């Protein structure tokens, strides 16, 4: 489990970090530890895998990827891992999860696809469908973005 | 200005290289921008300036750490809601009022509002879902918790 200090660090570095020459120094002063102690922590988080990355988040719409489709597939549990393997091999697929079904929603595998055009997204869906042979799916393009923020991990 | 494969026309070739680089980890060093600038063959200050401009243009949302929720003891989930067209404004206002809601989109399906939640424990997630469910603007709500993560790799080639 994370210590109180770890939680403080996680909270601090998961917010937009200052655009300064020595950002870790600024952050370490905020946290109340030395810069080298903070850098050691950051390296250890990366090494243990608890931190996925410390990098820029891009507004994909403004970066030319105007369309995002959440594609929900209904795939039998015996074949779901193989189908997911096909999906994750494609660079256009940024997220892929198996999720619980619901009585009125029979889909259990979700792939997020980003593209410059609707057509480009649909081409990827078609490619997946041809490769896996699965045809029971729904393409849910996002029509409006209401929120896209960084996670706040340990706030009350 | 050069043209990128995905149609981003308003950025320079240098900005494109910077965008591709800053979506990877910052060097975990005392002068990360200087070290990254060295990699790119530019000056630290010009890199900082370019990143500031990319932020101002809204292309870069933020520079921050992203953690694996499960590995730090947090819980995340996906929730879908059915909302009548006239009630979307009210429903979104309610949903977005929670800091634990990180993404929220309208999508074309019978479930037309899709949002993600992250909190430090399951109890909190359940409480928030129940509270949102009680909002009069929402006809039906279903949670689709993840059972397996196959991929998460958000990087956009500029």
Model confidence pLDDT, tens digit, residues A45-57: 999 999 999 999 9
Q: How many domains does chain A have?
A: 2
Q: Do B62 and A64 touch (CB under 8 A)?
A: no
**Average pLDDT of the residues in B34-63:** 96
Q: Domain span at residue A79?
A: 67-141
Query: Does residue B2 register a pLDDT over 50?
Result: no
Query: Does residue B7 register a pLDDT over 80?
Result: no
Whole-number pLDDT of residue A155: 62
Query: Does residue A121 register a pLDDT over 60?
Result: yes
Q: Do B105 and A142 touch (CB under 8 A)?
A: yes
| B105 in the same domain as B45 | no
| A72 in the same domain as A35 | no
Q: Do B66 and A150 touch (CB under 8 A)?
A: yes
Query: Does residue B3 register a pLDDT over 60?
Result: no
Whole-number pLDDT of residue A153: 72
The tokens describing B52, both together, are 């500031």
Distance CA B98, CA B113 (A): 15
Q: Where are the beta strands (DSSP E) in A17-92?
A: 51-58, 67-73
Q: Domain span at residue B129?
A: 69-143
Of B28, B55, B78, the CB nearest to A99: B78
Q: Do A53 and B68 touch (CB under 8 A)?
A: no
Residue B26 DSSP one-character state: P
Phi, psi of B139 (to 5 degrees): -80, -40
Q: Do B65 and A42 touch (CB under 8 A)?
A: yes
Interface of B with A in 108-147 (CB under 8 A): 108-111, 114-115, 118, 120, 142-147
Q: Which CATH number belongs to the domain containing residue B139 in this structure?
A: 3.30.70.920
pLDDT bucket at A63, cuts 50 / 70 / 90: confident
Distance CA A87, CA A100 (A): 18
Q: Which residues of A touch B102 (CB under 8 A)?
A: 147-151
Sign of CA dihedral B142, B147, B151, B153: positive
In a domain? residue B5: no
Query: Does residue B6 register a pLDDT over 70?
Result: no
Query: Does residue B1 register a pLDDT over 60?
Result: no
| A121 in the same domain as A74 | yes
Query: Does residue B157 register a pLDDT over 80?
Result: no
pLDDT bucket at B9, cuts 50 / 70 / 90: low
> What DSSP element (H or E) covers B13?
helix B13-22
Interface of B with A in 41-100 (CB under 8 A): 44, 48, 51-52, 54-55, 57-69, 71-74, 76, 78, 80, 92, 95-96, 99-100
pLDDT bucket at A66, cuts 50 / 70 / 90: confident
Q: Do A147 and B115 touch (CB under 8 A)?
A: yes
Q: Do A94 and B153 touch (CB under 8 A)?
A: yes
| B25 in the same domain as B84 | no
Q: Do B67 and A51 touch (CB under 8 A)?
A: yes
Q: How many domains does chain B have?
A: 2
Whole-number pLDDT of residue A21: 98
Whole-number pLDDT of residue A156: 46
Of B6, B69, B147, the CB nearest to A116: B6
In a domain? residue A91: yes
pTM of the model: 0.81
pLDDT digits (tens, 9 = 90+) for A81-98: 999 999 999 989 999 999
In a domain? residue B4: no
| B80 in the same domain as B112 | yes
Of B19, B64, B96, the CB nearest to A147: B96
Residues composing chain A:
156
Q: Which CATH number belongs to the domain containing residue A120 in this structure?
A: 3.30.70.3460
**Average pLDDT of the residues in B15-20:** 93
Q: Which CATH number belongs to the domain containing residue A41 in this structure?
A: 1.10.10.2890
């Amino acid at each position: 489990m994370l210590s109180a200090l770890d939680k403080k660090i996680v909270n601090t570095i998961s917010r937009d970090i200052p655009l300064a020459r020595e950002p870790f120094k600024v952050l370490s002063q905020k946290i109340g530890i030395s810069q080298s102690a903070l850098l050691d922590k950051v390296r250890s988080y990366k090494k243990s895998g608890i931190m996925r990355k410390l990098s820029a988040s891009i507004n994909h719409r403004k970066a030319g990827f105007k369309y995002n489709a959440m594609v929900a597939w209904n795939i039998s549990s015996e074949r779901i891992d193989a189908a997911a393997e096909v999906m994750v091999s494609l660079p256009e697929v940024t997220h892929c999860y198996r999720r619980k079904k619901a009585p009125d929603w029979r889909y259990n595998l979700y792939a997020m696809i980003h593209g410059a055009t609707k057509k480009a997204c649909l081409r990827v869906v078609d490619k997946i469908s041809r490769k896996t042979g699965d045809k029971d799916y729904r393409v849910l393009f996002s029509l409006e973005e209401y929120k896209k923020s960084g996670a706040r991990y340990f706030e009350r | 200005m050069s043209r990128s494969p995905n149609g981003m026309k308003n950025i320079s070739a240098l900005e494109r290289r910077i965008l591709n680089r800053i979506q990877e980890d910052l060097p975990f060093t005392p002068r990360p921008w200087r070290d990254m600038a060295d990699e790119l063959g530019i000056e630290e200050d010009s890199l900082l300036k370019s990143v500031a401009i990319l932020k101002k243009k809204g292309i870069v949302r933020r520079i921050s750490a992203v953690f694996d929720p499960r590995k730090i003891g947090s819980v995340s989930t996906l929730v879908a809601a059915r909302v009548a067209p006239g009630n979307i404004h009210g429903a979104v206002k309610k949903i977005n009022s929670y800091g634990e809601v990180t993404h929220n989109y309208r999508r074309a399906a019978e479930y037309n509002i899709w949002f993600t939640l992250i909190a430090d424990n399951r109890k909190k997630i359940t409480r928030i879902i129940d509270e949102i469910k009680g909002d009069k603007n929402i006809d039906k709500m279903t949670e689709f918790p993840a059972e397996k993560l196959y991929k998460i790799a958000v990087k956009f080639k500029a």
